[in-house]
Chain A
Amino acid sequence: MIFAVLTVAGMAAAMGLRNAIHCVLALTVGFAGVAALYLQLGAQFVGLTQIMVYVGAVAILAVFAIMMTHSPEPVKQPAFSSQWFVGSIVAASVFAVLAWEIRSSAAFTQGLPPQPYVTVQRIGDALMHHFVLPLEIMGLLLTAALIGAVVIAMGHEEEMK
């Protein structure tokens, strides 16, 4: 419950604050809250992966991107788009429909199953035997994404001069 409140508060602050750096700082709080929820659900490996990937990599990447795209003169302009009212209405109605469906569904009446016994060794075994093809494809995808990100962000030679 505490982690849920922390997560929602962090992510709402990340989407609502004015200063972009403050937004990313609030975002790390939200990501850490999601990781705590994973730990609470018994998925230790996924929780630690969440901390390493999101808090450690994605948030730092976003901070670097914000610092590199920071305009030299601070222009005072609204942080929200001109259609912010329509956007909030759409998001609120999406949440209302989802919450209504979840509350009214009858598919969740079963009790709590026992805590599953998940060790890192079992996850490694599964990755190396049953899920080895998706693992290889994921390595290929990450390599391609890395090279693609460098090529896109590098720009052309004449633009650098």
Chain B
Amino acid sequence: MSPLQDYLLLSSLLFSVGLAGVLIRRNAILVLIGIELMLNAANLNFIAFWRFGPNPSALTGIMFALFSISVAAAEAAVGLAIILAAYRHSKTTDLDQMNSLKG
């Protein structure tokens, strides 16, 4: 196996761990953290393809990863703010108990 395949396998494993966390955790904050793990797996893919791609002296992979990290940081801030607002409303972060659309 080439080293690119190793990194892609690792990144798909990270993505699956994040997906499992999103699907099975009850705490809303940990679900958001699972989404961050999936974004990290995507960033690892960007860097791996940049490093082992045909033209690594172009900086496109690094730039894509940097912008992706910035978007992920903005998403984390807004997501945690939404979770705080929902907690203030329903007094819980348990997703199995947040089952009412009407409040």
Contacts and interface: CB of A to CB of B under 8 A. Distances in A.
A49 B69 contact: yes
Contacts of A128: none
A155 B85 CA distance: 7
A146 B21 CA distance: 26
A154 to B, nearest CB: 9
B24 to A, nearest CB: 4
Contact of B14 (A7, A65, A77, A155): A7
Interface of B is mostly: helix
Contacts, number: 227
Contact of A145 (B34, B43, B77): B77
17 contacts: A7-B14, A15-B34, A30-B40, A43-B47, A61-B77, A80-B26, A84-B23, A86-B23, A88-B23, A92-B20, A95-B12, A102-B5, A113-B56, A116-B51, A123-B62, A145-B78, A153-B80
Given A61-B80, A98-B12, 18 more contacts: A4-B6, A14-B21, A27-B33, A34-B44, A62-B29, A65-B29, A78-B26, A87-B23, A87-B24, A91-B17, A91-B19, A92-B16, A113-B52, A117-B57, A142-B70, A146-B77, A148-B81, A150-B81
